[in-house]
Structure 1
Amino acid sequence: MELDFAKLSRPERYKLLVSTVVPRPIALVTTVSKDGIVNSAPFSFFNAMSSEPPLVVLGLEVTDYSPRKDTGDNIRDTGEFVVSLVSEAIAPHMNLCAMDFPAEEDEMDSAGLTAVPGVKVNVPYIKESPVSFECKRMTTMEVGTGNRIVVGEVVYMHIDDACFDAEKMYVDAPMLKLIGRMHGGGWYTTTAGMFNMPRIAYADWAVERKRP
């Protein structure tokens, strides 16, 4: 099957992308409005894109069933946000944050999550998350009809001591027990089913290829 995206509707393109680009990491994004109201919302159009400078990217998608604009507006107004990664333990809390709360209501508090003041940004991170990144907005691109792509620089990180060896700078990734977003209808996945496949050096591969 061949599909020309120029001939598809927006919902059709969205469905195809989110059903095939899987699994996607989930950013539970915390922001603060100009009036000091804390907002927490999950986004799976998210990933790390650079280590120098250390950058993360958020895709703030506006759809008919998710018209949320608070996150993008708050980042635009303050230039700051926090990305907390979602573990199996806080998945139900993240799901509550996905609801369309009134703009004046604190989703983090309503979802039973604990806000801890940021160190380098005036935005709280989530205590229950195993990893949180404090970020400063580098740039925002307005794309499509109401969508935004936000590039943020990571300026500070919080990580569960039990999952991190500071001397070796080693993260025990399986111990984080993070989840990822799958296709529509509320499907998620865990990181339990992993396999190891070391990268092969070209020189070694070339030698093996020549063997009889």
Structure 2
Amino acid sequence: MKSLLISLLLLAPAVLCDPRSPWKIHLETVNRQRSKFAEKYQVANMNELIYDPKLEKKILEQLALTDTCPKPSIISHNGFDFYFDIGNVDEGKSTVYDLVSAVGKKTMASYISTCMKTGVRIISAVTDSSDSPAISGPPASQCPDGSFPNGKLCKLKNNRDGYVRKGWFDPIGLAVEILAKKTDEVYEGAVEEAAKVLVDTQEILDG
């Protein structure tokens, strides 16, 4: 059954003219919000994420376990963090806070699928897991070994600028851009929620 669902997920985007993933535009959206977070909260060691298309298969495997219709949620499994339905502006904010704020993450992939029950498009993402603590200071002033300052983020050495698939064409690019804008709203909300969390935490520590 799992293999069948994965096969259907692979075929559905082609049949529905649905892009497989938001690729470079989504990556830029995430990194832009990580940069804003690093600047606003003076995080000195925030990594810039790079796109790894090989991770998309891992999203498919997890989607198969949810019957292709996951709720906004985060699942950690075998060293990876999965973020489901992050395009849900009403409920998705809490699922992307870690994606925006976790400093040590290095790689990500994303995927646009369609819930087979409702026909609603679902944006999912996966990153490597990291528990690296944030370091307070000017953004990109204390980059980890193997990285260098790039604006407000720490860029991995020998990292190509983004990842662009072959066969990119205007209809898919437009759909990706629209969905990326939706997720950008979610990330903006996540940053605002982060502010509340940090203020509440500081009050507890000071109290």
Q: What is the TM-score when the length of structure 2 is the normalising length?
A: 0.25
Higher relative contact order (CA 8 A, sep 6+): 2
Rg larger for: 1
Task: Name the structure where strand makes up a greater proportion of residues.
Answer: 1
* Structure with more helix by fraction: 2
